[in-house]
Amino acid sequence: MADFARAGKPRWRTLLTITLTVLPVCPAAAVSSRPQAAPSLPWMGPGTNGSVPWNIVVLLTLLTLLPALLLAMTPFARLLVVFHFLRQALGTQSTPTNQTLIGLSLILTFFLMQPVMADIRQVAVVPFEQGQIDAAAAVERGAEPLRHFMLKYAREKDLALFLELAKEPRPARPEEVGMRVVVPAYILSELKAGFQIGAALYLPFLAVDMVVAAITTSIGMLQLPPVVISTPLKILLFVMVDGWNLLVGSLLKSFF
């Protein structure tokens, strides 16, 4: 037994040394293994503990709403309707393509909305980035230039319709109309304006179709459809008068 005790002393000393070395490290390891709070994203505001997965879900949801916002709060709908009327009036089935017309409408929309976007950045984005206002105040400030733009082109008849449907009292000033009323009224007004411009654009080409059909019928050229003859004539007429320049210039001038 004495020999065993003498032989075991180095082992016990070794265990005691390892224990005294490991114990101070264990609390630090336990603290470092605790789950840390997820960092909050900038729009959460200071002092909030946001969850990164939920913030990503909110961001992706807002991104899915961007096409609807683009159609509802910008001149994109009017421009696209007019360009589609032009293609039908010319008689070209898929030229220009839908992607070309959508891209042209998007570029012109950005051109028209650039002053509004600059105002939104000045009154809302810059103060929010500097920490002067929170996200809710930034959204409220940013909505004002957009509301002013839409009210400029929304018809009073459409505004009155949605005020009646929303059961809201008639405001004393246009600036007091809420976005709930302004946005649908603006969409209806833009669609009406787009159809009016498209109808006026359609009439000259319709006259060409009627003249060509009358001539081909009177001379007995029934084996050749009139549209085959009228389509090149309409395209030639559109190119000779520099139609794209006139159309795009008239559309842009209607917003200034």
What is the per-residue pLDDT across 55-110, written as a single tens digit (0 to 9) for each?
677 667 777 777 777 778 889 989 999 999 999 888 887 888 889 999 999 999 99
Residues 201, 61 contacting (CB under 8 angstroms): no
- For the stretch 156-187, pLDDT in tens is 888 888 888 888 888 877 777 888 888 889 99
Q: In 74-155, which residue ranges form alpha helices assigned H by DSSP?
A: 76-90, 98-120, 126-129, 135-153
pLDDT at position 140? 82
Rounded distance between C-alpha atoms, residue 165 and residue 51, angstroms: 39
53 burial level (CB within 10 Å; 0-12, 13-18, 19+)? exposed
Rounded distance between C-alpha atoms, residue 245 and residue 91, angstroms: 19
pLDDT at position 52? 61
User: Model pTM?
Assistant: 0.70
What is the band of 47 on the pLDDT scale with cuts at 50, 70, 90?
very low
Which helix or strand (DSSP H or E) is residue 219 part of?
none
